[in-house]
Amino acid sequence: MASETIDLLSPYRPEECARRLRMVTDPGRRQRNSNPLIGVITDTTLRLRRRLAYRNSFQTFLFATMEGEEKGTRLRCRFGMHPVAVGFLVVWFCFVIVGLGVGLTVAFDLFGIDHGIDRPLWPAAVVPVLMAVFALFWLKFSRRLADEDELFMIELFRFSLDAELTPESAARRAAEQPR
C-alpha cells in the first residue's frame, strides 16, 4: 500500500466535498475533538491522516486533489508516508552507510594505520549495522500499525462523500489484492 494513486468520484461539487470533509477532520493534532481525521483541507487539495491514540511518525497520509467534473468531483488520491518522514529515513541510512564505511575501515585496519589503541575495534563496524537493523525494525513495525489507514480513509470518503472508486482504480486495487 505504498504511494499508489487512486481516483474516487463523488457526485458533489469540490466545495461541498471540502465542506463535508471538514466536518470529519480536525485542523491540528492539539485539538481533542472526536473527529477521525487530522489534516489540512482547501477547496482543491487535501493532506489527511487518521487520528491515533499514539504517535506514529510513519503513519499513512492521504495527499489528494479535487477536480470538478460535470457529474461531480474527482478526488485523485495518493497514499504514503509524510515527506519529512521519508527525508528522515534517507538521512538516517546515509549516516548508516557512512558509519559502516568508516567502521569497517577502522575495524579491519584497511589502510594499515596504527591507531595506538589496544582494544578491539570491531564495535566500530557493528554499531552502524545495529542502527540499520533498528531503523528497519522500527519502520516495519510502524508501517504494520498503519496497515488499515488507507482502507479506513477510503471507506470514510465513500461514506462522507458518496464517493466510489473509478473503474480503473477498482480494477487496479483488485489485481493487487493478495490471493
Arithmetic mean of pLDDT, 19-24 = 92
Arithmetic mean of pLDDT, 104-119 = 65
Do 165 and 157 form a contact (C-beta atoms < 8 A)? no
> What pLDDT is recorded for position 117?
62
> What pLDDT is recorded for position 103?
78
Identify which of 138, 177, 158 has the alpha carbon closest to the alpha carbon of residue 55.
138
Arithmetic mean of pLDDT, 24-34 = 76
Percent of the chain at pLDDT above 90? 32
What sign does the dihedral 91-93-95-98 (CA atoms) show?
negative
- Residue 5 pLDDT greater than 90, yes or no: no
C-alpha to C-alpha distance for 135 and 100, rounded to whole angstroms: 14
C-alpha to C-alpha distance for 96 and 103, rounded to whole angstroms: 10
| Beta-sheet strands, E only, within 42-142 | 45-50, 61-69, 72-80
Threshold 0.85, pTM exceeds: no
Distances from the Cα of 174 to the Cα of 75, 90, 133, 150, 170, angstroms: 19, 31, 33, 15, 6
> What pLDDT is recorded for position 90?
92
Angle between helix 149-161 and helix 14-23 axes, rounded to 10 deg: 120
Per residue in 46-65, pLDDT tens?
A: 999 988 888 888 898 999 99
> The cell 460535470 sits on which residue?
70
Q: How confident is the model at residue 166 (pLDDT cuts 50, 70, 90)?
A: confident
> What pLDDT is recorded for position 1?
40
Average pLDDT, the chain: 84
